[in-house]
Structure 1
Amino acid sequence: MSRQSATNEEDMSCVRSVPRRGVIIVLAAVLMIVMMAMLAFSIDVGYMYTMQSQLQRSVDAATLAGAGSLIDGQDAATDAVHEYLVRNPVGTQWKEYDNQPVPDSVAHFMTNYSQGLEVKYGDWDESAQDVVPTGRQPSTVGVTMRYDNMPFFFGSLLGRDTFSIEARSAASYQPRDIMVVLDLSGSMNDDSEFSAFNKLGVASVTANQLQIYQDLGSPTYGNLEFTPQWATAEGPAPQTSEQAKVSATYQYSTVVLNSTKAYERVRVRRSDGNIVTYYPSGLEASFTPGGQVREVWAYSGKNPDHSDQLHYFDFTNRNTFRDALGLDDTPYPYSGNWNGYLDFCMSSGGQNKNAGFRYKFGYQNLIVYWLDKKSLHSQMPDMWKGSAQPITAVKNSVDLFVHFIEESESDDQMGLAVYNGPDGEGILESTLTDNYGFITAQSNHRQAGHYHNYTNIAAGMKEARDELDARARPGAFKMIVLLTDGVANWHNGGVNSGAARDAVIHEAYLSADRGYVIVTISLGAGADKNLMQQVADITSGSHFNIPGGQTVEEYAEDLTEVFQKIAAHRPLRLVQ
């Protein structure tokens, strides 16, 4: 090939390569524009989805806040909706609210965005999937929020400058199935007994005992007075003008004699068997022989044959006191007789003696005798009427708890279980129901030690769990409210504190396995607070401790506050 030919071929190659490089540049430029448009579109679409997600979260939060405030009324719920829409801004709204007080931010929000907000109150209609009006207090809040004119970043390039987003949500109270488990052990009246004098004060406990006496109708038995008094035995009425009328007031280690005639002599036998002889002057005399007085022989007045008249008083005989108190012709008001009460008053030990009332008799220690020794309903069927404590504070608080739930006009159901039953086990007093009046009636007609005196907490928990298993509604929030003032001590028909406590833990795990939340209340210094806290922890519940050493009024106030918290803490769920 010649040099000239080679040169021509090179020149032709150059001519062909120039237009090819230009086409690639043009194509690259066109493709870059397309890619930029796609990128801009992707950014705007992603921004739209981000704003939609933020708005949905904001509306969900506002809806839940509003539903949670419904217990305080619709105005409070509306305020909560506004506040949480502000607290959860969408897009660049945070700049509008930054470093501003919440009320100012809410005012700004309502001025600029309220046209896009709709809040509805009512009940949730599952079939219509909507909030429908109701004639009672609403249970559901529905919130719809729409923002128009949200700016695109690059939308103007495609002919659109703004977009709109909308989100809706509805939150409703979840209906509850609540089993209340009450402690009816005998210790639930301890704050009304003499043993509470040191803890609560003599004046406070005495006033409570008087209230119980009045609650029972202020009955009259013999010549008893409310405050315990010494018994005065009366000798026989004189048959002649020469005979004397003698009375003997027994004061344990002293006897006080009153006579209408002068004494010849007085002999007193004390508890060691020795007899001390006195020659008193005057018509009234007091004798303290140096030990417990057992028998008295008083010589005062003259018989028809002019011999010294003898007046004998046997204070070893229970009948002497029964006659002295006018109870010999007074029927005992319940099954049994007066002997138990007399023995309680004369006992050398126990709380009556410790209170300083040994050998004193009155309605005050009759009330304590019934509370301490005859607490079973079968023994003393009227004591549920009396304001014994702390059981009355508990019953009153249950009344208020029911009232709180009733006032909320919710779909809650309640049931009532107690421990111990007649055999020391639990007993179901009411199945789950919306007849709240029946719950309060059942609670109010029970007394401390109603069926049994010991404490079988696990048995009450089991009754509650069984009832929830059998009759709780599928969509309801299931919970148990468990109260005790003592320590679990009864299990499988006998006293066994260790086994009784283990049974409580076992019951807690059984409830937790079913998703049942247990709220526990330990009342007073004698309650097993650690056990109640453990039960609450196992079941994801809460424990409330009401400390001991308080007055009746303080107990009632604390119990009311606790039950009000439980009633107001209603579970919420997003239904839309």
Structure 2
Amino acid sequence: MSRRTSSTDEEKSCVRTARKRGIIVVLAAALMIVMMAMLAFSIDVGYMYTMQSQLQRSVDAATLAGAGSLINGEDASTDAIHEYLVRNPVGTQWKEYDNQPIADSVTHFMTNYSQGLDISYGDWDSNSQQVIPSTRPPSTVKVQMRYDNMPFFFGHLLGRDSFSISAQSAAAYQPRDIMVVLDLSGSMNDDSEFSAFGKLGVDSVTANQQQIYQDLGSPNYGNMKFTPQWAVAKGPAPQTSEQAQVSAEYQYSTVVVNSDKSFDRVRVRRSDGNTVTYYPSGNSGSFTPGGQVREVWAYSGKNGDGSNQVHYFNFTSRDTFAAALGLDQVSYPYSGNWSAYLDYCMSSSNQNKNAGFRYKFGYQNLIVFWLEQRSLNSQMPDMWKGSAQPITAVKNSVELFVHFIEESQSDDQMGLATYDGPDGESVLESTLTNNYSFITTQANRRQAGHYHNYTNISAGMKEAREELDARARPGAFKMIVLLTDGVANWNNGGYNISAARDAVIHEAHLSADRNYVIVTISLGAGADKDLMQQVADITTGSHFNIPGGQTVQEYAEDLTEVFQKIAAHRPLRLVQ
């Protein structure tokens, strides 16, 4: 009895187990279908998000490229947008462009996808968050791109074969607040002085000096010529027919004496005190006594009592040279007198002597005297009008820089600082402004050594930084353009190269702390290129080096190219 019961129970249990297994198989099959559907769905959804992300990146890249090309016009901007949409394909588009020239790929893109592209230009309105039309050149570009019929992997199983994606982006120029810092140290005249003969050539420098003379109005002082000449001293005019008219041309170790009558004799005292007597035949002679000529006595003509007329020339006196040049009848045009110029021409140790013009006088070395010895505006207030180099190349390039920014009709502001100031520090020539013509005027009316002859670079940097601190706009990109042709050598009221250099680095860090970018320009062989590179690196700026040994024209071309690059490199930002 018990055995039969056990057998029946086992049979019932096996039946129940078999039924459960059948149900699990059915459920597993059903769940697998659901899971496969969910997997297919998740793959397609993930693919959709991936395509959306790729499209957004593509549109962002194209928008930035278009905004960066706005400086060249809307057509150039549109071309850049098309190119970058092609260079950043979405999904399997890369197969359509693979191994094709970019121009052919753009043509294919425009043929197949242009209907989904919309580009608009204008200015960005931060209040409405829209691009609004503008009558001036646009500062903002907006790109909208839509791709339809993007294929699903498994969507057709659910009745959907494709999907659409779209993205939009807007990029605008970020307005800039730019402080230009110019080096007005005395060395910014060096390429117009005699010391530049060896580097730039005698003819080139002389032509520049001639231009400066003309820029100053070609003034006339006495009987001087442009090219320095020996001074010719004249004796008193004859009062009777027996008296002679005598002249003596001073040539340092030689004197050339001429008379309208014959000589009895000529006596010449040289620098060692000895006197040499000559007995020339005729009425002229060139006399070289074996040392520097100091005094001359020419015996020619007769006095009323029949005695020999003696003509005395004292070449130890400035007055003799002033009278020989006619400068005794002409007032010195600026503060001071002619004595300093005469001393400069007679000096035994300066660039005038090295150029071969010692004891020669003319407008050419008068110009160099002003450039070298009287560069301060308080001493020579008209030199800003002259084309001294390289300061004129710098001023012309700044003018072009300002013009380029003005033509772009941007929202940029500019200010101008110079170093050194009257106290060896700096001068704020213009606060930040969009009155660009004022910036140009201020720069053009400054001359090398305008206030001070030394180089306090950190003072100029500080002036620019403090102006940005005080007046820069919160949303503007803040930058400093710093130019120098020399080595920092003035700090805290004195000449100290080491301290001046340290002060420049300190100022660079202060600007970096404020996210002020400094673009540096080192001009010529004498500039501290390493220091300027450090300043640019510290502030994440750029350094441009214009090498020495170039002609003035080459300097001007390089400077113009650099300032154009700075003007054209406008920061961009995605605003949408």
Question: Matches of residues 337-356 of structure 1 in structure 2 within 5 Å?
Answer: 337-356=337-356
Q: Counterparts of 1:216 and 1:435 in 2: how far apart (Å)?
A: 28
Deviation of 1:14 after TM superposition, in Å, equals: 3.1
What is the SS of the residue equivalent to 2:421?
A: coil
Cα deviation code 1:100-122 (max 9, x no counterpart): 11111111100000000001111
CA distance in 2, matches of 1:544, 1:2: 108
The residue aligned with 1:173 is 173
> Percent of pairs identical after alignment?
82
Q: Which residue of 1 aligns with 2:440?
A: 440
Match in the other structure for 2:138? 138
Taking the TM superposition and a 5 Å limit, the aligned residue runs for 1:144-543 are 144-543=144-543
> 1:34 Cα shift?
1.1
Within a 5 Å distance, the mapping from 1:18-167 to structure 2 comes to 18-167=18-167
Distance apart, 1:311 and its partner CA: 0.4
Structure 1, residues 144-179: CA drift from partner, whole Å, max 9, x if none? Answer: 000011111111222211111000001111111110
Instruction: Give the distance between the partners of 1:492 and 1:121, measured in 2 at CA.
Output: 52
TM-score, structure 2 length as denominator?
0.99
User: 2 CA distance for matches of 1:138 and 1:381?
Assistant: 43
How far, CA to CA, are the matches of 2:307 and 2:11 in structure 1? Answer: 175
Q: Which amino acid aligns with 2:263?
A: Y
* Cα displacement (A) at 1:230: 0.5
- Structure 2: distance between partners of 1:353 and 1:14: 126
Counterpart residue type for residue 155 of structure 1: G
* Amino acid in the other structure paired with 2:558: D
SS at structure 2 position matched to 1:535: helix
For the residue of structure 1 that corresponds to 2:329, the secondary structure is coil
- Give the C-alpha shift of residue 13 in structure 1: 2.9
Query: 1-side partners of 2:14 and 2:459: how far apart?
Result: 103
TM-score under structure 1 length normalisation: 0.99
SS of the aligned residue for 1:332 comes to: coil
Distance 2:270 2:8 in 1: 157
C-alpha distance in structure 1 between counterparts of 2:358 and 2:101, whole Å: 70
How big is the shift at 1:345? 0.6
Aligned counterparts of 2:146 and 2:26: Cα–Cα separation in 1: 45
Q: Structure 2 stretches of 5 or more lacking a match? A: none
More displaced 10-residue stretch of structure 1: 515-524 or 22-31: 22-31
**Quick check: 268-277 or 535-544, which moved more?**
535-544
**What 5-or-longer segments of structure 1 have no aligned partner?**
none
Structure 1 stretches of at least 4 aligned residues deviating more than 4 Å after TM superposition: none
**Which amino acid letter does the alignment assign opposite residue 134 of structure 1?**
S
| Distance in 1 of aligned mates of 2:22 and 2:452 | 104
What is the CA distance between 1:10 and its match in structure 2?
2.9
Deviation at 1:397, TM superposition (A): 0.4
Secondary structure of 1:297 counterpart: strand
Root-mean-square deviation (CA, aligned residues, Å) is 0.9
1:12 CA drift (Å):
3.0
- The SS at the match of 1:328 is helix
The Cα of 1:535 is off from its aligned counterpart by 0.8
- CA drift of 1:222 comes to 0.4
Question: What is the CA distance between 1:334 and its match in structure 2?
Answer: 0.6
Alignment match, 1:547 = 547
Encode CA deviations 1:50-98: one digit per residue, 9 max, x unaligned: 0000000000000011111111111111111001101110011011111
State the shift of 1:395 in Å: 0.1
- Offset of residue 307 of structure 1: 0.4
Q: Which moved more, 1:430-439 or 1:127-136?
A: 127-136
In 1, distance between residues paired with 2:81 and 2:49?
23
SS for the counterpart of 1:482 is: strand
Q: Which moved more, 1:10-19 or 1:257-266?
A: 10-19
Query: What is the CA-CA distance between 1:128 and the residue it aligns to?
Result: 1.4
**CA deviations over 1:230-255 (Å, ceiling 9, x no partner):** 11101111111111110111111111
Aligned residues: 576
Deviation, 1:329, is 1.0
